[in-house]
């Protein structure tokens, strides 16, 4: 299960991503926001981060205007490794090296075509499980 959420700035891109997940047959839960009315990104970033940290969902996708606010917020939750990606190389590397469990996107930064490629890369790339990466991840918290 994928947790997805956005503020108003990411709402339109979130709709495109959910349609894409539907096409791929991937299950997701939409944690809001549910319209383009102005709202506060921490509300939705926290909901998605808690769903992933609590084990309700395996991965999360967060979208706001820049991707910055949601990524800062998500990374405050213990157990969350949220990566703000604007390219596929970063999305692949953060899965392989950081075992990132939440992807943040900036809807005012990347176009929908690139965003969907980043989403696919993030969802389809496994963690490398290399010992050095396992060790470094274990050093992130605490």
Q: Given its phi and psi angles, is residue 32 left (phi above 0), alpha (psi -120 to 50 degrees) or beta? A: left
With respect to ligand RB5, which residue has the nearer C-beta, 12 or 137? 12
Binder to ligand RB5 among 41, 75, 83, 115 (CB under 6 A)?
41
- Residue 64 bears catalytic tag: yes
Backbone dihedral angles phi then psi of residue 89, each to the nearest 5 degrees: -60, -45
Q: In which residue are the tokens 């213990």 written?
A: 78
69 binds ligand RB5 (CB under 6 A): yes
Stretch of residues binding ligand RB5 (CB under 6 A), selected from 45-53, 61-69, 83-91, 112-120: 61-69
11 binds ligand RB5 (CB under 6 A): no
85 binds ligand RB5 (CB under 6 A): no
Backbone dihedral angles phi then psi of residue 53, each to the nearest 5 degrees: -65, -35
Question: Which residue of the set 20, 39, 88, 97 is catalytic?
Answer: 97
Stretch of residues binding ligand RB5 (CB under 6 A), selected from 46-54, 62-70, 92-100, 124-132: 62-70
- Residue 34 corresponds to which tokens in the numbers above? 């549910």
Q: Where are the alpha helices (DSSP H) in the chain?
A: 11-24, 41-53, 68-74, 88-98, 112-124, 131-140
- Catalytic residue numbers, as ranges: 64, 97
């Amino acid at each position: 299960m994928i947790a997805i959420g956005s503020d108003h700035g990411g709402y339109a891109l979130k709709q495109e991503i959910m349609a894409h997940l539907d096409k791929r047959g991937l299950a997701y839960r939409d944690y809001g926001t549910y319209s383009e009315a102005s709202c506060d990104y921490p509300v939705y970033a926290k909901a998605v981060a808690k769903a992933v940290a609590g084990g309700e969902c395996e991965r999360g996708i967060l979208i706001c205007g820049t991707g910055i606010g949601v990524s800062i917020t998500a990374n405050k939750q213990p157990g969350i490794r949220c990566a703000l990606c604007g390219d596929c190389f970063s999305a692949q590397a953060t899965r392989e090296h950081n075992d990132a469990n939440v992807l943040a996107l900036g809807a005012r930064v990347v176009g929908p075509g690139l965003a969907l490629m980043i989403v696919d890369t993030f969802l389809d790339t496994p963690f490398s499980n290399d010992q050095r990466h396992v060790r470094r991840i274990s050093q992130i918290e605490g």
